[in-house]
Structure 1
Amino acid sequence: MQPTAGQDLSHTQPRPMHWLATATALSAVIAGASFVQPPDATATTARGTSTAGHPAAAPDPDRVSFPVDCGPNRLDVVKKASGDLDGDGTTETVAVVRCHSGTGTPPSGAYVLAQPSGRRAAPRIVATLLAPAQQRSVQNLAVKDGAISAAVLGYSTRDIPRCCPDVRQSLKWQWKGGKFVRSELPAAMGTRSV
Structure 2
Amino acid sequence: MQQSAVPELAHTHTRPIHWVATATAVAGVMAFSSLLQPNSATAAQAAPARPKQAHAAAAPGTAGVDFPITCGPVKAVVQKKATGDLDGDGNPETVAVVHCDAPMGTPPDGVYVLTRASDGKARVVATLVDPKKGDTVSDFAVRDGAVVAKLLGYSSDDVPRCCPDVTDSAKWQWKNGAFVRSTPAGSHSV
Q: What does 1:43-192 correspond to in 2, within 5 Å?
A: 53-119=54-120, 122-190=121-189, 192=190
Residues 171, 184 of structure 2: 8 Å contact kept: yes
Residues 96, 113 of structure 2: 8 Å contact kept: yes
Instruction: Kindly indicate which of the two structures has a greater share of residues assigned to helix.
Output: 1
Residues 59, 116 of structure 1: 8 Å contact kept: no
Unaligned runs of 5+ in 1: 1-46
Distance 1:157 1:58, change over 3 A: same
The one-letter code of the counterpart of 1:156 is S
TM-aligned CA deviation for residue 115 of structure 1: 0.9
Quick one: percent identity of the two aligned structures?
Answer: 53
Which 4+ runs in 1 deviate beyond 3 A?
A: none
For 1:75-133, what per-residue CA distance to the aligned partner results, in whole angstroms no more than 9, with x for missing partners? 100010000001111110101100002222100000000112203xx312111100100
Equivalent position SS for 1:133: helix
Q: Taking structure 1 as the reference length, what is the TM-score of the superposition?
A: 0.68
Q: What does 1:25-44 correspond to in 2, within 5 Å?
A: none
Q: Within 2, Cα distance between the matches of 1:184 and 1:160?
A: 24
Residues 79, 98 of structure 2: 8 Å contact kept: yes
Q: Within 1, Cα distance between the matches of 2:173 and 2:55?
A: 26
Residue 12 of structure 1 aligns with which residue?
none
CA RMSD of aligned residues (A): 1.6
Q: Taking structure 2 as the reference length, what is the TM-score of the superposition?
A: 0.69
TM-aligned CA deviation for residue 48 of structure 1: 7.3
Residue 34 of structure 2 aligns with which residue?
none
Q: Within 2, Cα distance between the matches of 1:48 and 1:116?
A: 19
Unaligned runs of 5+ in 2: 1-50
Equivalent position SS for 1:117: coil
Q: Within 1, Cα distance between the matches of 2:168 and 2:185?
A: 9
Q: Within 2, Cα distance between the matches of 1:187 and 1:103?
A: 33
Distance 1:48 1:112, change over 3 A: farther
TM-aligned CA deviation for residue 54 of structure 1: 4.3
Residues 141, 151 of structure 1: 8 Å contact kept: yes
